[in-house]
């Protein structure tokens, strides 16, 4: 078993997730023991269905494990209730999804302001405007997601992820819905922002080149780390 260092931000012990199906219990993840140091960038790779997305959803507190524990910044996510996990997400975590997941009824600016507003910060607007400027969307503040291209939407999503200065950023196939050129630009931006923020990055990807840019690669096969 690995030991926890003072800079470790994520620790899992014997993490597992299984669901009951009509053909018995399906083990999506099992026996995951993992330590991620603060500021480290980690790529999670594996075949489709190997449990990548499930793993980051557990690490980010979006879902609850069937077995094992997760500690985030020294606090046990598994002992928290949903509101506790929500508060942790709000304080410490940023997300970038494959399908952007922007709120359709809100403008780009409002989408980016959202995490800060939930945190109750008063200067949400200035921070959001600044970050949208940083991702090159100063001219698009009042546009709704429908009025933006895929690449632009993902840039809004990046701004939203970093606006709250998260300690950990989870990115689930961030370029999966984009063409390679746009995807490459988004990845550049993601790593730049990550560097500026000194955030820990946990990235799920199929793309080996992208995975190679991370400091560490974790491979999953049939729900187990190999």
Q: How many residues bind another protein (CB under 8 A)?
A: 33
- CA-to-CA distance for 90 and 92, rounded, in angstroms? 6
Site for another protein contains 121 (CB under 8 A)? no
Q: How far apart are CA 69 and CA 16, in angstroms?
A: 9
Distance (Å) of CA 63 to CA 53, 95, 130, 198:
11, 14, 32, 26
71 or 85: CB nearest another protein: 85
Contact 138, 132 (CB under 8 A): yes
Beta bridge partners of 10: 36, 72
Q: Tell me if 86 contacts another protein by CB under 8 A.
A: yes
- 72-93 in b/e form (b: 16+ CB < 10 A) is bbeeebbebeeeebeebbeebb
Query: Least distance in Å: CB of 124 to another protein?
Result: 10
Does position 62 interact with another protein (CB under 8 A)? The reply is: yes
Residue 182 sits in the site that holds another protein (CB under 8 A): no
User: Is residue 123 at the binding interface for another protein, with CB under 8 A as the rule?
Assistant: no
Contacting residue, 6, 22, 104, 180, with another protein by CB under 8 A: 104
How many other C-beta atoms can be found within 10 angstroms of the C-beta atom of residue 174?
28
Q: Among residues 80, 118, 130, 222, which is the contact residue for another protein, using CB under 8 A?
A: 118
Question: DSSP assignment, residue 223?
Answer: T
- Distance, in Å, from the CA atom of 185 to the CA atom of 175, rounded to the nearest integer, reads 10
Least distance to another protein from the beta carbon of 110, Å? 8
- Residues listed for the chain: 226
Chosen residue from 27, 90, 130, 176 binding another protein by CB under 8 A: 90
Point out which residues pair with 76 in neighbouring strands: 71
User: What would the x/- binding string for another protein be over residues 142 to 181, using CB under 8 A?
Assistant: ---xx---x---------x---x-----------------
Shortest approach of another protein to residue 134 CB, angstroms? 19
Is residue 83 involved in binding another protein (CB under 8 A)? yes
Report DSSP state, residue 73: T
The piece of 26-34, 68-76, 94-102, 209-217 that touches another protein (CB under 8 A) is 94-102
For position 51 contacting another protein by CB under 8 A, the verdict is no
Q: Is 189 helix (H, G, I), strand (E, B) or coil?
A: helix
Q: Which residues here bind another protein, judged by CB under 8 A?
A: 53, 57, 62-64, 82-83, 86-91, 93, 95, 97, 99, 101, 103-106, 114-115, 117-120, 145-146, 150, 160, 164
């Amino acid at each position: 078993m690995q030991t926890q260092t003072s800079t470790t931000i994520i620790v899992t012990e014997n993490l597992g997730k299984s669901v009951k199906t009509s053909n018995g219990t399906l083990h999506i993840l099992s026996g995951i023991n993992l330590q991620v140091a603060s500021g480290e960038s980690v790529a999670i790779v594996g075949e489709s269905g190997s449990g990548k997305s499930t793993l980051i959803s557990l690490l980010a507190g979006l879902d609850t494990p069937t077995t094992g524990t997760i500690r985030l910044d020294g606090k046990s996510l598994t002992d928290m209730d949903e509101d506790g996990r929500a508060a942790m997400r709000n304080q410490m975590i940023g997300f970038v999804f494959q399908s952007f997941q922007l709120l359709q009824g809100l403008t780009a600016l409002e989408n980016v302001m959202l995490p800060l507003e939930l945190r109750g910060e008063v200067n949400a607007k200035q921070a959001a405007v600044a970050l949208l400027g940083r991702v090159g969307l100063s001219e698009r503040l009042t546009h709704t997601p429908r009025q933006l291209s895929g690449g632009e939407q993902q840039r809004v999503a990046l701004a939203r992820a970093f606006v709250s200065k998260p300690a950990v950023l989870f990115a689930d196939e961030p370029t999966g819905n984009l063409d390679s050129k746009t995807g490459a630009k988004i990845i550049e931006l993601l790593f730049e922002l990550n560097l500026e923020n000194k955030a820990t990055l946990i990235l799920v990807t199929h793309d080996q080149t992208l995975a190679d840019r991370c400091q560490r690669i974790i491979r999953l096969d049939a729900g187990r780390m190999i």
